[in-house]
Amino acid sequence: MIENIDTSLIDWSRAQFALTAMYHWLFVPLTLGLGVIQAIMETIYYRTGNEAWKKTAQFWMKLFGINFAIGVATGLILEFEFGTNWSNYSWFVGDIFGAPLAIEGILAFFMEATFIAVMFFGWEKVSKRFHLASTWLTIVGATLSALWILIANAWMQYPAGMHFNPDTVRNEMFDFWAVALSPVAINKFFHTVLSGWIVGALFVLGISCWYLLKRRNTIFALSSIKVSALFGLVASILILWTGDGSAYQVAQKQPMKLAAMEGLYQGGNGVGLVGVGVLNPAKTSYLDKQNAFIFDIKFPKLLSFLAERDMNAYVPGIVDLIEGGYTTNEGTVALSAKEKIEKGKTAIKALADYRKAVKDKDIEAARQYRATLEENFPYFGYGYIKDPAELIPHVGLTFYSFRVMVILGGFFILLFIIALIWDKKGKIATARWLQYTALWSIPLGYIAGQAGWIVAEVGRQPWAIQDILPTSASISKLNPSSVQTTFYMFLILFTILLIAEIGIMVKAIKKGPEELKTEG
C-alpha cells in the first residue's frame, strides 16, 4: 500500500472521480426513466393501433437516443479512472470489483447495442411485435447495465462474499451470489432505478406542459402527461419503500453514515428523526461541547424505528462510535476507534511478517502470522487511519443532502398527484401555474438524485471499501498536478457535452413531433 501520500493528490483524485460520476449521473437517470416511458407508449400503440401513440413514442425515443449516446461516453471515462487514478484499489479488489463490471460490459452493453439499432431504425423494417420487443429489450439492457454497476458499488459499501489472500495481497471472491444478491446491492438497485424513473417522469411531464404553455401539440402533450404522471407517482410511492430499506441497511452496515445523516453526536434509546434542522457551524469537532443544532424539529423515536424496527432501540451517535464501549443490539460491546486502529495495525504487520516468513520458508511462523492476520482482517483498513476524527464523514454535506433528497421526494409525489387530478378534471390544459411548476421541476429531479449520491458516497468516507481500505490507501502514485490538469480537461469536456446535449434536445423539442404539429 502507498504511504506518505500528498493529501492534495488524494483530494484531486477524489475531485476528479466525483466530477466524472456527477456528470455521468446527469445522463443515466433520464436513460432509465425515459426509456421505460417511451416503451410504455409504444406498447399502447401496439395494443390500440393508434398512430398518434406511435408518433408520441417516436418523439420521446429521439430524445432518449440523444441522451443515451452522451451518457455512454461519460461512463467509459469513469471506468477507466479506476485504473489510472485508483490503481491500488484496482489491485487490492480487482478480482471482485471487476467481475460485475465485466458482466455489465459483456451482457448488458451488448444487449443494448444489439437491439437499439432495431428500436431506432426498424419501424418500417420489422413487425410491430418484434420492434416492441426490441424496444423493451433495449431498456432491459440499460437497466441490467445499472444493476451490475450498482452491485459493484454496493460491494464497496458492504464487502461480502470475499476472502483475503495474503500470498497475492488481493481480495478474492468465493461466493458470487453473496456479492450479487447482498441486501445492500438489491436495495440500492431498486432505489437508484426508481430515482431514474422519477427523473424520466418529471422530464416528460415538464416538456409536455411546455407544449401546453405554447398552446401547440395539445393532444400529444395531454397523452404524454397521463402516462408520465401515473408512472412518476408509482415510482415515487415505491421509492418510499426502498428508501426505508436503505435507511435500515445503512444503520446495520454503516452506522457512522447514519449518524452523519442525522447530525447525531450522542446516541441513545428511542432516538428521534430530524425533520427540519440547522446544524451549528460552531461545532467543529466531536470532542467539543457545542450543541449540534441551532434548532431542530424531530419526529419522536422514528430514527430508532427506521434503524432497528424498534421504537426504543439504541442508535449510536458519532461520539459513541468513536469512543465505543456501548452494548450493541446484538449484545456485544462495541470497540472504540482506537481499538480498531490497533487491530488494523496488527493485521498490516501480520501480513508483512507472514510474507517474510513465507520467503524464509518458516512454515510454523507463517501459520501463526496468517492466523493473526485473519483474526484482525475485519479491521485491516483502520490500520491506515492516523486520527479517529478521520472516520467521521462531512456531517454538514451529508445531513443537508439527505434532507434535500427527502423533501424533493415528497414534493414529487404531490406534483404527480395534482397533475393526475387536474388531468382527470380536464383542467390541466388551462392551469398555467401547474404547467410552469412542472416545467421548472425538471432540474429538481436531477438535484434529488445528485443529493442521494452525495449521501451514499460522502457519507461512507474515509472508506473506499468499508472498513477494509480507506481512500488514502487506494490511489495511484501520481503527480498531483497531472490529476489537477485532467480534472480541468474533463470539466471542460463534460460541460461541452452537456451544453451540446441540451442544445440538441431543445432544438428537437421546439421542432416537436412532426406529424402532430398542426393539432391543438
pLDDT digits (tens, 9 = 90+) for 471-488: 999 998 888 899 999 999
Asked if residue 93 lies in contact with residue 469, where contact means CB atoms within 8 angstroms, the answer is yes
Asked if residue 428 lies in contact with residue 340, where contact means CB atoms within 8 angstroms, the answer is no
Instruction: Give yes or no for residue 4 having a pLDDT over 70.
Output: no
Asked if residue 232 lies in contact with residue 205, where contact means CB atoms within 8 angstroms, the answer is yes
As beta bridge partners, residue 276 has: 297
pLDDT confidence of 520, banded at 50, 70, 90? Answer: very low
Instruction: Give yes or no for residue 519 having a pLDDT over 50.
Output: no
pLDDT confidence of 129, banded at 50, 70, 90? Answer: very high
With a pLDDT cut of 70, the percent of the chain lying above it is 98
Tell me how far apart the alpha carbons of residues 69 and 193 are, in angstroms, rounded to a whole number. 19
Mean pLDDT, residues 452-461: 95
- pLDDT recorded at residue 343: 96
Dihedral, CA atoms, 339, 345, 348, 351, nearest 10 degrees? Answer: -80
Q: What is the DSSP string of 88-99?
A: HHHHHHHHHHHH
Tens-digit pLDDT profile for residues 486-497? 999 999 999 998
Tens-digit pLDDT profile for residues 203-248? 999 999 999 999 999 999 999 999 999 999 999 999 999 999 999 9
Tell me how far apart the alpha carbons of residues 61 and 499 are, in angstroms, rounded to a whole number. 20
- pLDDT recorded at residue 77: 80
Q: Where are the domains of the chain?
A: 7-254+393-509+511-515, 260-323, 337-384
- pLDDT recorded at residue 3: 52
Q: What is the mean pLDDT of the chain?
A: 92
Tell me how far apart the alpha carbons of residues 484 and 435 are, in angstroms, rounded to a whole number. 43
Instruction: Give yes or no for residue 318 having a pLDDT over 70.
Output: yes
- pLDDT recorded at residue 453: 95
Q: With the C-alpha atoms ordered 374, 375, 376, 378, is the resulting torsion angle positive or negative?
A: positive
**Residue 443 contacts by C-beta under 8 Å, 6 or more apart in sequence?**
none
Mean pLDDT, residues 396-423: 97
pTM of the model: 0.93
463 in helix, strand or coil?
A: strand
Dihedral, CA atoms, 305, 306, 307, 310, nearest 10 degrees? Answer: 20
Instruction: Give yes or no for residue 309 having a pLDDT over 80.
Output: yes
- pLDDT recorded at residue 402: 96
- pLDDT recorded at residue 516: 47
